[in-house]
Structure 1
């Protein structure tokens, strides 16, 4: 799993995703299962938005609420065909406000 959260706020998104694609292709043998992790505020609507991104993807899901119940972590083990599909999923989830991608 590659950590998307970083402290490089001034990085060009296209450069970031190009670098991510290189890393994915170097470390994964696609097609295969890929582990996505997201942290969201504990709102059902946020979960639904993320689930919609995975509509056409076979995945298993586990969730865990934070100790105080304010946040939920979603772990999705999804079968992906290639690095481009992984990046596409990250880009779509990235459009959802308040989602932290790990």
Structure 2
């Protein structure tokens, strides 16, 4: 997905009134949990391992001041190998 596209930004702004509490959800290989934690150093990252332990679901709530802040996180996250954004 192209998070930097104008259509994604427009969709964020049509659904959310910024500033807002925004929930990020990712699925990552277990080995990449540290990289997700590094994206959110000041926030509580809730982790739930998959049944077989290969993957971890990560949920993070962040007070986002703008759609640009949300997009910035997604752009940084897509550099994490194996990440799936939900």
Give the structure-1-normalised TM-score.
0.75
Selected match of 2:38 from 46, 52, 55: 52
Larger radius of gyration: 1
Partner of 1:81: 65
Give the secondary structure class of the aligned counterpart of 1:96. Answer: coil
1:60–1:78 CA contact under 8 A, matched in 2: no
Q: Count the aligned residue pairs.
A: 86
Structure 1 residues not aligned, in runs of 5+: 5-12
Deviation at 1:17, TM superposition (A): 2.5
Runs of 4+ in structure 1 deviating by more than 3 angstroms, as ranges, are: none
TM-score (norm 2): 0.88
Shift of 1:47: 1.7
Q: 1:61 to 1:53 in 2, by over 3 A?
A: closer
Equivalent residue in structure 2 for 1:17, among 1, 5, 8: 5
Residues 6-49 of structure 1 show CA distances to partners (whole Å, capped at 9, x for unaligned) of: xxxxxxx37x6311100111110111110100001111xx1221
SS of residue matched to 1:62: strand
RMSD: 1.7
